[in-house]
Structure 1
Amino acid sequence: MSIIEVRNLTKSYRVYKKREGLGESIRGLFKREYKEVEAVKGIDLDVEQGEFVAFLGPNGAGKTTTLKLLSGVINPTSGDATVMGYVPWQRKNEYRRRFALVMGQKNQLWWDLPAKESYRLHQQIYGVPTEQFDSTLDELTDLLDVSRLLDQPVRELSLGERMKMELIAAMLHSPEVLFLDEPTIGLDVIAQHNIQEFLKYYQQKRKITILLTSHYMKDIAALCKRVVIIAGGRIEYDGSLVGIIDKFSSHKIVTLQFAEGHQPSLSHHGEVLEETWPKAKLRIARAEVPRMLSSVLEEHPIEDVSVEDLPLEDVIAELFRETAKESTT
């Protein structure tokens, strides 16, 4: 049975159209024009218990809006959704005690107080028994190696240290579902890796369900077997990372190593990406690769050849560009 069920979920915003110029600003005080912006356009989604699902998409695609809907922060325009059997926007206390939302650009800890003080407040809000609270806090601080920082004001911590503290705050009440919105944004490579390792270990140990949004492909590759691509408010893909290349990549990268002294012109075969003779690298349409290789092998002495898929980041970027064009036409 799915722990998260979403059916035809939509969210629209009424946005004020502000025009340039003093005269238009004055007129806007008396008569305002608005436009409808569709952030989410009929999403259907099922997530099983214990899954770690990534949401990918360009800025403004609807990823964060979807997480806010599922966590009950905002109400939908239409559609239905349940998480653990609860309708999120009804905001029942029983539901609030069973999930957590972490937003990489929002703080939930008191800025001028040590994190430990905020944790005590969380304990009271969620009604966590003292023994369970102490045990969970010790486990999380050990895993994230921040025990020494608990008595230090949050404002004195580095960005990576603060994010670790935010994750601890979210997990103190042992949520069954965790929504993560850009948890590693702005972090350096080491901090990103530490957060990734923690999330991977904790999710496997506790079997919690996690929905993650991130712009970092390393986050996705390290943590998630299932990827949902959202673009223009719609789900464009739901499957594995490898499946993205199979479905959306229309080209291959062909690397040729010629015999010494041979530098043929290759532009008529495809897009030349790199020439470091005797090597050359080309971008070729998938369907044209066999014909191109046959032609080159007939015409020139080749010592080595390799055919690879485009980098995943390039495939996804191209998909985002295409969906952006479609939404503006």
Structure 2
Amino acid sequence: MSLARNGPIVVTGAAGFIGFHVASRLLHLGVEVVGVDNFTPYYDPRLKEARFARLCAEPGFIPLRMDLADQAGVKSLFSDFRPSHFVHLAAQAGVRYSLLDPHAYVQSNIVAFLNVLEGCRHVGVSHLVYASSSSVYGANRTIPFSEHHGADHPVSFYAATKRSNEFMAHSYSHLFGLPATGLRFFTVYGPWGRPDMAVYIFTRAIIEGKTIEVANAGRVWRDFTYVDDIVEGVVRTLASPPGADPIWDAYAADPATSSAPHRVYNIGNDRPEEINRLISIIETTVGRRALRKDVPLPPGDVLETRADVSDLRNAVGFTPATALEDGVQRFVEWYRDFHGIDAEARTQQQTLLHV
């Protein structure tokens, strides 16, 4: 797997969950990485600082704290570093939070992305890979979700902004020949994960003996995807810039004349798991039973996600495959280490499981 070395690779959201792991992988491949983040307090910034500190200790990492919604700042980023490739993972995440602060999503997901597109266009970036989301499928009821299906009815504002990113990227690809690939991530989890995600929330509550809220009595299915699988897909995709994209050409007024070098791929485990099973695996791994409270499915959420990953497999020869049991065990081990849960506390938890 090779990447052109005519400039560094920029990774935005480098202090975030996926961005941290992608930047780390690229550094281990010997690539110079400019890591960009603005450390928004959407969740505890100390976790972001801890991730960033590990990256800063790696040779070849160039840290840059900035807001990508700052047009002048982004222009300087491109002129100063002239990156060969660009991995845009910075975004305001979260379906539920978009009900509370939609303006944050416009600034982080729309304005910032436009600034990135402009920079990539003018510098001539070889390939822009950007984060989309499985949330774009919204009201689509055809399972598994496929890039060949419509995604025109998002049921959350977060999803609407990510779908907008896909249209924006396609327009820049069509107008300016910018090679760009959007990756629709499906429920990513793993070490250094976000505290607002289910695996983290449930693990923390079960370890602390607190009640977890379980939507729809746990009869909800998610295509949980381990972060190492996501990183492998990102890096392989980054090394394989697109030509004309038949998926998007199908929507063009005249497909025969469309030649936008843009594509969209799902990255998911292709095996949805019921939330009840996730909880059971965490209980076994942690050694303590969960205290549960059933709640309705929140607005903007859907009952099931499942990725059709055949296009990704055909394009880059990779399919995510980490079993949920293995991924949860690795996450719990990281959680205990990061939060300083010692061996004595673990033994007590294992005892409680059998009481």
TM superposition score normalised by structure 1: 0.29
Question: Which has the larger share of helix?
Answer: 2
TM superposition score normalised by structure 2: 0.27
Question: Which has the larger share of strand?
Answer: 1
- Work out which of the two has the higher radius of gyration on C-alpha atoms and give 1 or 2: 1
